[in-house]
Amino acid sequence: MRSLKLFLLAWLAVFIQSSLSGLLSVWGLLPDFIAMIIGLTALTLGTGPGIQIGVMAGFMADCYHPSTLGLFTLSGAVSGYWAGSIRERIYKDQLANQLLIVALLSLVRQLFEYWGRGGGGLGGYISVLMRFGLGSAVYTALLGLLLLPHLKRFLPRTEKSKLRLA
């Protein structure tokens, strides 16, 4: 059941990213809903589910953009692992920390995506990343300020111990 919920959440993030994010475009900057879902899942549930949802969302995004097949999967897996591994080192329930992680995940994902779409060349890579990457990361964090508190209810609940004290 938990994997099904993660799959549906990943599908929803990819659907919103691919179809509705153009409506929220500001000065050519697009929010990264996939980074929001990956970051929130990894911070809430841990490294394993973070990698799992990152790979699922990345593969679905790869199916939407087949010219760079595997690149979104790699960026999702790296983002999920990175967010899950720093989970124990930060105060994960604080919204400011969640927003910082989501902004950094958005930037990490865009490092892979801009490089892959450019054919692996570095010509203009830094200027595009500075113009669109940083702006999109900040925009994702600002949108996350509104959405992250409400997205937690869609995550699968963590397994609690069956042992109760009398």
User: In the predicted model, what is the mean pLDDT of residues 16-35?
Assistant: 84
Q: Which of 47, 13, 19 is nearest to 148 (CA)?
A: 13
Predicted pLDDT at 52:
92
**Range 92-121 average pLDDT:** 76
Report pLDDT for 151. 76
Residues whose CB falls within 8 Å of the CB of residue 162, separated by 6 or more in sequence, listed in order: none
Instruction: Please tell me the predicted confidence (pLDDT) of residue 161.
Output: 44
Q: What is the mean pLDDT of residues 146-155?
A: 76
The pLDDT assigned to 129 comes to 75
2-152 CATH: 1.10.1760
How open is the CA angle 147-76-105, to the nearest 5 degrees? 50
Q: CA-CA distance, 44 to 2, in Å (whole number)?
A: 13
The better pLDDT of the pair 50, 162 is held by 50
Residue 83 has pLDDT above 90, yes or no: no
Least confident of 36-45, 79-88, 120-129: 120-129
Domain boundary assignment for the chain: 2-152
Confidence of residue 77 (pLDDT cuts 50, 70, 90): very high
Bridge partners (DSSP) listed for residue 29? 26
- Is the separation of the CB atoms in 99 and 153 below 8 Å? no
